[in-house]
Amino acid sequence: PPGFDPAKRYPLVYLVHGGPQGAWLDVWHARWNYQLFAARGFVVAAVNFHGSTGYGQPVTDAISRDWGGAPLEDLQKGLDVVARLPFVDSTRMGAAGASYGGYMIFWLAGHTGRFKALVAHDGVFNPVSMYGTTEELWFPRWEFNGTPYGDRSLFEQWSPLNHVKDWKTPMLVVHGQLDYRVDLAEGLQAFTALREMGVPAKFLYFPDEGHWVLKPRNRRVWWSTVLDWLEQYLR
């Protein structure tokens, strides 16, 4: 954060990248901009887990058919390391991600209570319904080893829908009407589940955006809403 003092303790924002075959890099990004998160007084951590690029093809391939397995383990181990840093307040940690990162936010919500706030953008909530609405059919076929009309075991095994009974962490859900990669219905289903479970939640809807928020004014709305949500629960 600006004016960083290592003697103080700061809230943490834990970022989860999309792809899922992607990576956090030393780059400037309009949406996942480390400095813009830090500008609100957060320490920012960005961990590359199994499925990330840059560590060899076997590591990149490891996420396929294992969406909620090794990547979750890596993220938990990374969080252990970051939470032990003397300038991180481990009682005030939040997480955010989009696309596969949004999926992992839904997955984390059902598998850990370590976060005080979550942000899920364009995430996969129900792999079965996502299959029937995406414009990129080869992707779920490869990642879940088939189709829901045949062997849907992996679709069910790695479905956040099956763990909503354990959701307790306040969550901001973001989705765009023109998202043909991960349909708007995924975000709406997640938001409905949050409200049905009695979990504090907010839905940010962009009628004129797809899988990415590209319009400058919409980006300003995105940043202010996301940062305000995190600040609400981590301050």
Residues identified as active-site: 99, 179, 211
Residues 179, 182: Cα–Cα separation, whole Å? 6
| Complete DSSP assignment for 71-119 | HHHHHHHHHHHHHTSTTEEEEEEEEEEETHHHHHHHHHHTT----SEEE
Beta-bridged to residue 10, according to DSSP, are 88
Q: Which helix (H) or strand (E) holds 196?
A: helix 184-196
Which two tokens mark 141? 């076929």
Q: How many residues does the chain have?
A: 235
Q: Map residue 5 onto helix, strand or coil.
A: coil
Residues 146, 138: Cα–Cα separation, whole Å? 9
- All residues at 6 or more sequence positions from 149 whose CB lies less than 8 Å from its CB, including other chains: none
Residues 8, 4: Cα–Cα separation, whole Å? 8
